[in-house]
Chain A
Amino acid sequence: MGEAIVVTSGKGGVGKTTTSANVGTALALMGKKVCMIDTDIGLRNLDVVMGLENRIIYDLIDVAEGRCRLNQALVKDKRFDELYMLPAAQTKDKNDISPDQVRKIVEELKPDFDYVIIDCPAGIEQGFRNAIAGADHAIVVTTPENAAVRDADRVIGLLEKTNISQPKLIINRIRPNLLKSGDMLEVDDIIQVLAIDLIGIVPDDEDVIKAANQGEPTVMNPNSRAAMAYRNVARRILGETVPLMHLEEKSGVLRRMRKFLGMG
């Protein structure tokens, strides 16, 4: 029996879909059987980020309304044999499906997969309630901005009222140079306010934008720092203990050497 994990944030644009795509792909990269569900009905993006848009035949609403069987709607990834995606409908809206229908679909997927990753829409209305309906765990994504932290706090409060276990936190799009100059919220300050376990910090990385536009999740690029961070998140989900990555810019051999000699 697999686990269902919802990726949520409250605020839009903090990287829920990017996180879903990358964590899902990273888990598949580690040999797990993964299904990603896009619940952002009417504004679906996960298929675009994954580069699977042109393979969609049926969607979540078709399954919910019985127009097709569940495995007919699953889109198999082009890179991995054991990575699937259930796309959202683009022509409907959030009210066209109920939390119970989503829960039924997730329950149906869990025996066949190790992980079911549910990509949640922004907001705390119907779409949010649909997305969290079938989830066992939750990952809350935030960025080091006050507005995003506020919304994350609100969402954590709502999650705590459900039977989802303690949500985990990803702090996304950290810009090390702003951190250094003190112009950005510190990781520690965010954790102090939100008071939940951190499962990853992801630096802001141009590769993420490039990769998303090419329909290729960043984790596939071994040179990207964000990719490293997402792989670490996946390893922590699998239960490994992985130290948080250092956020300073890549240091050259010379600088590392100097640091080692105590001159840095």
Chain B
Amino acid sequence: MNVKSLVTIKGVKDGLVFLLDDDCELDALIEELEAKLQKHEQQLAGPIVHIQIKLGARQLPEEDRERIRSIIRKQGNFVVQSIESDPPPVGPADYSSYKVETVTGMVRSGQTLEHEGHLLLLGDVNPGGAVRSTGDIYIMGALRGVAHAGCAGHSEAIIAASLMKPTQLRIAEVISRPPDEWASGESWMEYAYLKDGAMQIDKTAHLHHIRNRVLQAKGV
């Protein structure tokens, strides 16, 4: 039976690229890597060779990366240059699956709050502080620092704050710098969103214009 090779070695201009299968068990992968290196020990000997390792979609913690590094280092003339995984895939499907999570506290100067999913922050973000989230950011408090929504690339993310006085706003790849590009400081709650790739500010009451899940309020 012809089994698909788990480790593919390719030569490039400045060294070798190891393509590691991202579907199999890690142990099987490491076993094959060891076997392959042993088999070709003679062929691969020689001057220093730079190695790039591509893990595909597999995400590995530092200790496993170190394991791979140490196996490759056994081949005396190999220098591991990099170990890379593909960035985790993003798409509208997983954006809608984001849940809102509540965090209470202040983000002060020099602090960064990183979050996956939608973030509801009960507290302020001070100048010099930053919040980053892969989903939306809602701040029940003053936003005076930097907020980056959709930081994994979702341009439909929004940033809402009770008091919108940011040093900088970012949604996906777009960076905007008030008050040069837009002014705020209104007394109502506002949110920022992207329209045709440009940052826009509107009052939160208008949010349903871009998020069209219509609320069915009971009443006469």
Contact = CB atoms under 8 A, between A and B. Distances in A.
Interface stretch (B16-24, B66-74, B85-93, B120-128): B120-128
A134 to B, nearest CB: 23
B109 interface: yes
A60 to B, nearest CB: 28
Contact of A150 (B111, B124, B127): B127
Interface residues of A, number: 13
A75 to B, nearest CB: 36
Contacts of A193: 124, 126-127, 142, 144
B200 to A, nearest CB: 27
Contacts of A194: 126
A154 B144 contact: no
B124 A157 contact: no
A153 interface: yes
A151 interface: yes
A195 B124 CA distance: 9
Main secondary structure of the interface of B (DSSP, over half): loop
Interface in B97-126: 106, 108-111, 124, 126
A194 B128 CA distance: 12
Contacts of A150: 109, 127-128
A195 B106 contact: yes
A195 to B, nearest CB: 6
Given A193-B144, A195-B106, A154 B128 contact: yes
Nearest to A156: B108
Contacts of B129: 153, 157
Interface in A142-182: 146, 150-151, 153-154, 156-158, 160
Interface in B124-142: 124, 126-129, 142
A162 B129 CA distance: 19
Contacts of B126: 153, 193-194
A225 to B, nearest CB: 30
Main secondary structure of the interface of A (DSSP, over half): helix
Nearest to A194: B126
Nearest to B141: A195
Contacts of A157: 106, 108-111, 129
A158 B110 CA distance: 9
A154 B106 contact: no
A160 B107 CA distance: 11
Nearest to A158: B110
Interface string A19-54: 000000000000000000000000000000000000
Contacts of A154: 108-110, 128
Interface in A190-205: 192-195
Interface in B163-201: none
A195 B125 CA distance: 11
Contacts of A151: 109
A153 B124 contact: no
Contacts of A158: 110
B198 to A, nearest CB: 29
Q: Identify the interface centre among B109, B124, B128, B129: most chain A CB within 10 Å of its CB.
A: B109
Q: Identify the interface centre among B108, B124, B128, B144: most chain A CB within 10 Å of its CB.
A: B108
Contacts of B142: 192-193
Q: Identify the interface centre among A153, A158, A194: most chain B CB within 10 Å of its CB.
A: A153
A146 B126 CA distance: 12
Given A146-B127, A154-B128, A157-B111, 17 more contacts: A150-B109, A150-B127, A151-B109, A153-B108, A153-B109, A153-B128, A153-B129, A154-B108, A154-B110, A157-B108, A157-B109, A157-B129, A158-B110, A160-B108, A192-B142, A193-B124, A195-B106
5 contacts: A150-B109, A157-B111, A160-B108, A193-B144, A195-B124
Closest 10 CB pairs of A and B: A157-B108, A154-B109, A153-B109, A154-B110, A153-B108, A153-B126, A157-B111, A150-B109, A150-B128, A193-B126
